[in-house]
Amino acid sequence: MELKSIGLMLAFSLIAGAATVFSQDNRNDDPFIWLEEVEGENALEWVEEKNRESLGILKSDMHYEDFYSQSLEILNSRDRIASPSIIGDFIYNFWQDAEHVRGIWRRTPKDQYLAGEPEWEIILDIDEMSEKDGVNWVFGGASGLYPDYERFMVALSRGGGDAVVRREFDMNSKTFIDDGFYVPEAKGSLSWLDENTLLISTDLGEETMTTSGYPRQVRLWKRGTPLEDATVLFEGKKEDVSSYGFVINKSERQYVMFGRGITFYTSEYFAYENREAIRLDIPEDANIVNILNNQVIIDLKSDWQPGSQFFRQGSLVSIAYEDLLNNRHDLTLIVEPDERSGIRSVSASYSKLIVNMLNNVSSELYIFDYENGSWNSTRVDAPAYGSISTGSVSNFSDEYFFWFQNFLTPSTLYFANARENSISKMQSLPEFFNAENLRVWQYEAVSADGTMIPYFVVGRQDIEYNGKNPTLLYAYGGFEVSMLPSYSSVMGKLWLENGGVYVLANIRGGGEFGPKWHQAGLKENRQRVFDDFHAVAEALMARGITSPAHLGIQGGSNGGLLVGVAFTQRPDLYNAVICQVPLLDMKRYNKLLAGASWMGEYGNPDIPEEWAYIEEYSPYHNLKENQDYPLVFFTTSTRDDRVHPGHARKMVARMEDMGYRVYYYENTEGGHAGASTNEQRAMGSALNYTYLWLKLSNQNN
């Protein structure tokens, strides 16, 4: 079991030369504010017109049809690995293909799966359910009742948004329970306490929600009683990000805890004991990631000195639950990363701790055992020089799955036992593209302040350093999210196999080297993230790999902000930009959907001192006339209820008002992921790579 942080875990100065002048202090002065009305009639007519214009051009290109069919063939391939989730004695899996467009939730006995001969039992057919209900349902996962897992709370979203409907499901009859627990569509969380009780945070009216749009109450909901009458056990403040409850079931006992998400990166944790919420004395920026052998596992984001002890930023430590409960600080160090390493994830099996480390952006897996008051580690003999993702972990044994991949090695699933420290290879994806003549290099670029920024280059072994290689640069640079080597079947087929070069940049703001690497790009230091990105682009040109005419960039969400800043700050460097589900209007981002929850990352634009540095890079406010901007391709989703589609819409409208050409595509479903079905994903990939070849190929420059 892996417990990721639940706490959510998103006067205007006149721009010289702007075609449209407005004050963002008064929303009514923004001439494009009407595009923030997500499903407004005028806004949707505008979307339809822009989609028609851009799709008409891109779909008529000679590349599109081949790219679409190749993408869809890969995405629907039955050679894909059925990703396993260990729940009791079964392996559960969610599967989509040409026959099951919206997908099926299914299971098979664990021994059959391990033997490579699964006989899948369909639990829920989302296509069938969607047709019956007349709703484009998207499966959002299921929470099972420990330890027998005969009941589940199934999450379903309309079109892929973050808000979900939750319904109780009986695993024996394979049906939803008519008079069972039912939670109307909302953002939030829930956990089973027992068969007749849920710990729930959900939307029960404005007074129960934070300004970020998440619940601020944790309630105890008894079967057969109205949800609105559920007892409030814990309540945070309206200006917080969220409040939530969670349950950790272990053989020795059940632990019930609450979290008050003050900001995106700061929380208060509480243990619920004897009908009382007891505040746990740990740093507000630390995360409780699990409990094992009665030891609370804590991930530190800053230095911590409890009493006479001292623990460095990025360390993993533990403390006995009773000691933490009683405000005693006798902690034990588990692991302390160095300057070029960090902790990617922490999981707990029945008796072992599984820690996934990054060392110079390469994964290493370790097993930790708690004995006689200390933690002892053993390295797992996993493949090297790539990315490891810890998969499902058993609650009842030390069995777990993990995945390994890199740019040229297809994703491979391994079954492992932490007690025996043994691994066995289960299955690899087929090679969906020809990597025979490809190679990977890792370089470093020097950023504006002298910091060395690692980046990977994937291309042909015999690459010509003539500055003419069509090159795609990708990065994210935020929220402590690490960008790691991964096998992209579609990218490999449509880009690398056709002679393109792919570059992945490990810029600051990410988590590749722990919390320090992330915090270096927060708030007033955000420009460092953009400087890192520009530095990698310039390094690629200095090496002769590419040139501005042949360099394209791509990013989504926070990465959409990154590429939006990149082309407005340095239009001289880039000739193609794919800006996906982006943040762009950084004056109003905190007023749109989940935006207020991300002020810990970017700052508060309503505070003049903080808007002063945000204004310096906000793409919507830094557009100018008579610039040599590339022809940007913006994409978003009407059903994205995390990053508001108004960001992309308004940016497009303002650029067109200034006389710039752009491409725009807004999917009417798909949520923040931008797509819900393989057909939609294939279309998105085909549009992206058609656009890139159109802009960056040697024939067009």
* 653-698 per-position pLDDT tens digit: 999 999 999 999 999 866 666 566 889 999 999 999 999 999 999 6
Any catalytic annotation for residue 518?
no
pLDDT at 22: 36
Question: Where is 457: in which H helix or E strand?
Answer: strand 452-460
Tell me the C-alpha distance between 454 and 362, whole Å: 12
> HEC states along 553-594?
EEEECHHHHHHHHHHHHCCCCCCEEEEECCCCCCCCHHHCHH
**pLDDT tens-digit map of 84-107:** 999 999 999 999 998 999 999 999
Q: Report CA 469 to chain centroid distance, whole Å.
A: 30
CB contact burial 281-300 (16+ within 10 A = b; e otherwise) = ebbebbbbbbbbbbbbbbbb
In sequence order, what DSSP letters do the residues of 674-689 get, joined into one string? T-SSHHHHHHHHHHHH
Q: Which residues pair with 663 in a beta bridge?
A: 633
Average pLDDT over residues 576-581: 97
Tell me the C-alpha distance between 401 and 423, whole Å: 9
Strands of the 295-299 sheet, one edge to the other? 287-292, 295-299, 316-320, 332-335
Tell me the C-alpha distance between 662 and 591, whole Å: 26
At residue 434, does pLDDT exceed 90? Answer: yes
At residue 402, does pLDDT exceed 80? Answer: yes
Active-site residue, selected from the candidate residues 212, 557, 618, 676: 557
**pLDDT tens-digit map of 148-207:** 999 999 999 988 888 999 999 999 999 999 999 999 999 999 999 999 999 999 999 999
Q: Where residue 12 falls among pLDDT bands split at 50, 70, 90? A: very low
Tell me the C-alpha distance between 655 and 577, whole Å: 14
Tell me the C-alpha distance between 13 and 612, whole Å: 9
**pTM tops 0.85:** yes
Tell me the C-alpha distance between 76 and 538, whole Å: 38
Tell me the C-alpha distance between 583 and 579, whole Å: 9
At residue 18, does pLDDT exceed 60? Answer: no
3-class state of residue 639 by DSSP: coil
Residues 6+ apart with CB under 8 A from 89: 109, 110
Active-site residue, selected from the candidate residues 143, 672, 676, 685: 672
Rounded to the nearest 10°, the torsion over CA 465, 466, 467, 471 is: -50
CA distances (Å), origin 102, targets 125, 128, 606, 674? 8, 9, 41, 14
Any catalytic annotation for residue 672?
yes
Tell me the C-alpha distance between 306 and 318, whole Å: 13
Average pLDDT over residues 242-268: 96
Tell me the C-alpha distance between 270 and 325, whole Å: 9
3-class state of residue 493 by DSSP: helix
Q: Classify strands 363-371 and 374-379 as parallel, antiparallel or unpaired.
A: antiparallel
At residue 24, does pLDDT exceed 90? Answer: no
**pLDDT tens-digit map of 510-552:** 999 999 999 999 999 999 999 999 999 999 999 999 999 999 9
Domains in the chain with CATH codes:
41-72+432-700 (3.40.50.1820)
Q: Classify strands 551-556 and 576-580 as parallel, antiparallel or unpaired.
A: parallel
Q: Which two tokens stand for residue 159?
A: 């079109």
Tell me the C-alpha distance between 163 and 143, whole Å: 16
pLDDT at 641: 83
In sequence order, what DSSP letters do the residues of 39-53 get, joined into one string? T-HHHHHHHHHHHHH
